[in-house]
Structure 1
Amino acid sequence: MPAGVRIPRFVRWRRHPVLAGSAALLLAAGLVLGGIRAYGVLFPPELACGKGMTAAGRGPALACVGVNLESTPFTKDEPARMRELEKTIRAANDAVRGESAAVVLMLNLSPVVDVDTLTHESLYHNIEGAVTAVWRANNTAAYGSRPGIKLYLANMGSRYGSWRQAVDSVGKHAASERIAAVVGLGQSTEETRRAAAAISKELHIPVIGSTVTGNSMNLDPDDPAKPIPDMFRVAPTNTHAVIAANQYAGTLSQAVTSLAVIADGVAGDDYTATLAAEAKTRFQAPGRTVTTLPYTSPRELAADSGRRNYLIDQFNLMHANLCQAAPSAVYFAGRGRDLGAFVQTWVQGAPCGIDKLRIIAGDDASQAIRDEAVLDGIKSGRVEVAYTALASPQQWGEDCPGTDAKRNFDQFRSAFTGSPDPCTKQAPGTGRSGAAPLRFDPAHLASGQAMLTHDATAAAISAVRRAGEGVRNPGQLTGILHQFYCAQMLPGASGWLSFGDDGNPVGKPLPIVQINADGTTNTVSLTWPSSAPNLSLPQRGGTGAPGC
């Protein structure tokens, strides 16, 4: 080769095929990574999810589902109040030092208007109740001292459609986050029942339902003859709700000689199905006729497609038959979010000789406390509405010192609101940690949901702190939870917590709550559908408490 003539660079590369191949791979990788980054800039993901969660659903139902380990948003346009609560949870979790265990509050945390029969407002109450239980655990002597407790929210998505992803996320992070129990669940549906069964069967982690009342919710969905072994709940079942409603009906000044059961026949909703089934039989009484008037709420309905209008059309058709039955009272065995459509149709329908319709409903009517159609109906004088609440801040009365059950509630209320105990005047914290008190709105207690979710979370925490090695093996907590009865009953805001062999609560009261025209409520009576009043721990050798 003549002097001064240089070999072209590409020819030199050909003399070294290994180097050439490596360079080509690096170039290709760079192009791929660069392309991915460029695509991400040009076409960003529709919803970015924090650690522990993945995006699921479409359109208005698009949300991050799974366990929210970093307290990031569940949806793109999440309400400000939800963001505030997530920040509160993150700050509390970051403050936990040393050994810790976690409780997961699993709900539908991304409800869609006109699709879901719950609202963000009711979710706030549930979350606040759980936050209060964890605050008491970490900052007072209410449940012992160790380990420290963290709280994580887990989203099952609209209509609980992503329950499988939520359960898988719990399983994926159970060991690293030391998840000891799952609480909440939300509504009594086929999806939440399957979620509970999967957590028990696959993860062997106890589940404590807070407001699930459907009679079948603790039964294996694939083999209903068998119970879900690790499932507990702090709310009475629909059987007890109807017994309580019947007790209340018997106290009304005008005798209930005829009653109409407005029964939702939608598939997959254990709440409405078992509530209607119980009502059809338990309201039967000598001298009383019971008529069933069925309707079917939509199971699948696109967002903003008019759920209320869909139901108004059915209730309009029902109106003549309701007039024909001429009931002394109506038992509404449907979802509380649908009660407004029924009331509106009755009030605006043709008069038929019934001056005022007395409506009794199940606990889900707490969703209707601020429903304008319900409030307008009450204002008109054409209806009055009462329901069997799962808990009420008024159920223990105002007298000081009151019963032991009232003192338990007063301590909870003090921690929830940051106000001194109304009877002892004691501040909510002991000063053990120096943490700032909570300042939740006492009006958020009206639905009772904060009380129930507090109690479910408190039961999980109590089991964790009694279990020792159970923090590393959550399955051991099931045995601990089964020991909470008789002298080992747990103090709860909604009443003493005592679990039967099937995991259902024993000896729980059900308050009867009336909705007022201004959206406030009054507790008109306190019923004990399954036991004598259970107000105190039993004296030594006593037999008054459940399980003694």
Structure 2
Amino acid sequence: MPLLRRSTSPGPLQPRSWVRRHKFVTAAVVLAVVAAGLAVWQPWRPCGAGMSAAGSSGSCVGLNVESGSFGTNDAVAELRERVLEHNAGVTDQDFVTIVVLDNMTPDPSIDSIGGDTVRHGVEGALTAARRANDTTAVGAKTPKVKLLLANYGTDEVQAAEAVRQIELAREQERIVAVVGLGQSLEHSRTAASGLADHGIAVVSGMASADDMNQHVGTGEKLHEFFRITPTNIDAAKAGAAYLRQQRPEKVMLVEDTNDADSYSLTLAEAFKDAYRDQEISSAEFTSLSDPSGTARPDFMAGEFARVYSRICLEKPTHLYFAGRGNDLRSLLDVMSQNTNCTGMSDVDVITSDDATNLVGRPLPRFDNRQVRVLYTSVATKGQWDGVPGQEESRASYESFESAFVGMGMDNADALIDGYAMSVHDAFLVATKAAREVGGAYGMVADKIKALDCVEPFGGATGKIAYKNGHAGQGNPVGKAMPIMRLDVNGHPVQESLVWPSGQPFGPQSCE
């Protein structure tokens, strides 16, 4: 066989391949394929599974199914790993999940809620989850309960996205209830309404505005909505009762007229109604969620300069502040900086539970007068101590505090603001109901309604019961409220414990 040699002559010309002749079409196809792949795999996306970017804020809203970062202003960064560890410990195939929904990324430049407050709520939920799985705090220990965190951001669009992600994950994650919803803002109502539309039970820990149980679209009562905290009407009754005990010479109402803040609006109306038999004057201000580029402290300083002029003119001995705690701080700063008010005497400032945002922050100095700051709280550390006839509630609180401290979560102020206690109770109420219906999420709300004055739930915040068929659907009845005073260092001191009706909780509370 002859030896084959490689030819050195040029071969016949070959036509260009289809790919070479259509290189631009090919490039477009490749880019399309790559783009399709990136729709699934996008490593630079700032938000994990179940979440999406909240505009240009750098925060992530939605359901945090992987315990990843919430982005900018993540208030619970130190707790997300603990949530992951708790869920990893639930190995049973039969389990349920409860979601803690709140503004997990509060921006101090525009939001009135503080990061510490949000963390306390999540710490309370983690304590409840541990107790629910490891003790008989709610009776049965099964099905085991997991905990997921969700962020509803700062507006209605972000709240709707959080609800959408919770609904999408409901079957896979076995979500039976949502708890938290810490503030009475319009987007909180949007979230509550959206969850109720999907038949998901909601147990708010701290939202006290009276319209929180009303559908944001129809105004109808939300039969899936419940809360642990007393309503603004109850808080205003307690504040008015305290004022009457002081026999004030002159009372002024300082009220926020921001339409988006139902907490402040309903608090003002409730106080006016509770104090209607007494003559009061009023001064208005407006807190804007987005003060058009002006830093919130500067914006509020301008608002309260006008309010202080009115205060200086009328010289009240007592102020009732219907607004947010951080805004109250701005008012106090203005009052301390303006000392040229001739004839102004000592002043007591009374407000509601959002004043817990002032805890741990020294009060401004008032050189020429005494200004005391008091508020009605939803709960506080050791609130049952020394109160006769409340042995059961004191024992429930002590069991909670022991578990809370045992998990290494206690610090100087973690139990003062009531967030940990309230979200803890909300989580256990939801867990108890879910276990009694075998994890059937559509029946959880009906079981919560069954908590009445004969068979209440014994929580750290007191006995929790609901009055069926009442206009105040989902509102707890007969809840005790501590009256707190802030000392000069911003440390709260309990003055007393009161009930809205003037009587401790009992069977009569549901009458």
TM-score by length of 2: 0.90
Question: Which letter maps to 2:68?
Answer: T
Whole-angstrom distance in 1 between the partners of 2:364 and 2:397 = 32
Deviation at 1:368, TM superposition (A): 1.5
Q: Equivalent residue for 1:321?
A: 310
Question: 1:115 — aligned with what?
Answer: 110
Aligned-pair CA distance for 1:441: 2.3
The answer to whether residue 380 in structure 2 is matched with residue 392 in structure 1 is: yes
Per-residue CA shift, 1:440-498, capped at 9, x if unaligned? 32520011111111111111111111111xx2x31211110111113321111111111
The SS at the match of 1:526 is strand
**Alignment partner, residue 238 of structure 2:** 244
Amino acid at match of 1:50: G
Match of 1:510 in 2: 481
TM-superposed CA distance for 1:250, in Å, is 2.1
Correspondence 1:63 to 2:59: yes
Query: Is contact 1:507-1:531 (8 Å) kept?
Result: no
Deviation at 1:195, TM superposition (A): 1.2
Contact 2:361/2:489 (<8 A) preserved: no
SS of alignment partner, residue 46 of structure 2 = coil
* Change in CA separation of 1:185 and 1:354 when aligned onto 2, cut-off 3 Å: same
Stretch deviating more after TM superposition (232-241 or 343-352) = 343-352
Q: CA separation in 2, counterparts of 1:48 and 1:76?
A: 10
Query: What letter matches 1:497 in structure 2?
Result: I
State the Cα distance separating 1:367 from its structure 2 match.
0.9
Within 5 Å, give how 1:415-434 maps onto structure 2: 415-418=403-406
- Alpha-carbon offset, residue 318 of structure 1: 2.3
CA deviations 1:269-306 (Å, max 9, x no partner) are 11011111112232233xx4200111111232367x32
Q: Is the Cα–Cα contact under 8 Å of residues 377 and 484 in structure 2 kept in the other structure? A: yes
> 1:347 touches 1:382 (CA, 8 Å); kept in 2?
no
Match of 2:462 in 1: 495
Instruction: Name the SS of the counterpart of 1:384 in structure 2.
Output: strand
Please say if residues 111 and 289 of structure 2, whose CA atoms lie closer than 8 Å, have aligned partners that are also in contact. no
User: Do the aligned partners of residues 186 and 170 (structure 1) sit closer, same or farther apart at CA in structure 2, a change above 3 Å counting?
Assistant: same
In structure 2, give the amino acid aligned to 1:453: V
Distance in 2, Cα, partners of 1:544 & 1:84:
42
Distance 1:186 1:277 in 2: 21
Does structure 2 retain, via aligned residues, the 8 Å contact 1:108–1:159?
Answer: no
Aligned residue runs from structure 1 range 156-305, under 5 A = 156-159=152-155, 161-201=157-197, 203-224=198-219, 226-252=220-246, 255-285=247-277, 288-301=278-291, 305=294
2: CA distance, partners of 1:379 / 1:139? 54
Name 2:3's counterpart in structure 1: none
Q: 1:474 aligns with which of 419, 441, 456?
A: 441
Partners of 1:86 and 1:379 in 2: CA distance: 45
**CA contact under 8 A between 1:379 and 1:517: conserved in structure 2?**
no
Read off the aligned partner of 2:466 and give its amino acid letter. Answer: F
Root mean square deviation, CA, Å: 3.0
User: Structure 1 residues 76 and 358 mapped into 2: Cα distance closer, same or farther (>3 Å)?
Assistant: closer
Paired position in structure 2 for 1:91: 85
CA contact (8 A) 1:154 1:166 kept: yes
Q: Which runs of 5+ in 2 are unaligned?
A: 1-5
Distance 2:200 2:38 in 1: 43
Q: For the structure 1 residues 290 and 69, does the alpha-carbon distance in structure 2 shift closer, same or farther, using more than 3 Å as the test?
A: same
Deviation of 1:525 (Å): 0.8
| Residues 401 and 26 of structure 1, relative CA distance in 2, 3 Å threshold | farther
| Per-residue deviation, residues 23-58 of structure 1 (Å, max 9, x unmatched) | 9987755455568999999x984x521111111221
Tell me if 1:342 matches 2:331. Answer: yes
CA gap of 1:393–1:264, structure 2 versus 1, over 3 A, is same
Shift, 1:20, TM fit: 9.8
Checking the alignment, whether the CA contact within 8 Å between 1:125 and 1:450 is kept in structure 2 is yes
Alpha-carbon offset, residue 251 of structure 1: 2.2
**1:458 lines up with 2:424 in the alignment:** no
- Contact 2:124/2:423 (<8 A) preserved: yes
SS of 1:162's equivalent in the other structure is helix
Q: 1:526 aligns with which of 485, 497, 500?
A: 497
Give the residue type in structure 2 aligned to 1:120: G
Gaps in structure 1 of 5+ consecutive residues: 419-436, 535-542
Please say if residues 485 and 546 of structure 1, whose CA atoms lie closer than 8 Å, have aligned partners that are also in contact.
Answer: no
In 2, the alpha carbon distance for the partners of 1:506 and 1:402 equals 16
- Residues 448 and 517 from structure 1, CA distance in 2 versus in 1: closer, same or farther, beyond 3 angstroms? same
- 1:401/1:331 CA distance change after superposition, 3 Å: closer
SS at match of 2:462: coil
Cα distance between partner residues in 2 of 1:524 and 1:438: 28
User: 1:508 touches 1:530 (CA, 8 Å); kept in 2?
Assistant: no
- Secondary structure at the residue paired with 1:522? strand
The 3-state SS of whatever aligns with 1:84 is coil
Displacement of 1:8 after TM fit?
Answer: 5.2
Instruction: Answer whether contact 2:73 2:107 (CA < 8 A) is retained.
Output: no
Distance (whole Å) between structure 1 residues aligned to residue 81 and residue 113 of structure 2: 23
Q: 1:159 to 1:114 in 2, by over 3 A?
A: farther
- Per-residue deviation, 1:147: 0.8
Counterpart of 1:444 in 2: which secondary structure? coil
User: What secondary structure, in the 3-state scheme, does the structure 1 residue paired with 2:234 have?
Assistant: helix
Q: Verify the 8 A CA contact 1:261 1:332 in the aligned structure 2.
A: yes
Deviation at 1:520, TM superposition (A): 1.4
CA contact (8 A) 1:183 1:208 kept: yes
Query: Could you give the per-residue CA deviations for residues 149-190 of structure 1, whole angstroms, max 9, x where no partner exists?
Result: 111111011356500110000010000000000111121111
| Code of the aligned partner of 1:392 | T
Letter in 1 for 2:152: M
Amino acid at match of 1:483: A
* Kept in 2: contact 1:378–1:516 (CA 8 A): no
Please list the CA deviations of residues 306-328 of structure 1 after superposition, one character each: whole Å capped at 9, or x if unmatched.
21221222222222321232212
Deviations 1:395-442 (A, max 9, x none): 201589961000000000001111xxxxxxxxxxxxxxxxxx444325
CA distance in 2, matches of 1:38, 1:26: 18
Seen in structure 2, the aligned counterparts of structure 1 residues 316 and 33 have a Cα distance that, compared at 3 Å, is: same
**Amino acid across the alignment from 2:383:** Q
Tell me the residue number matched to 1:309. Answer: 298
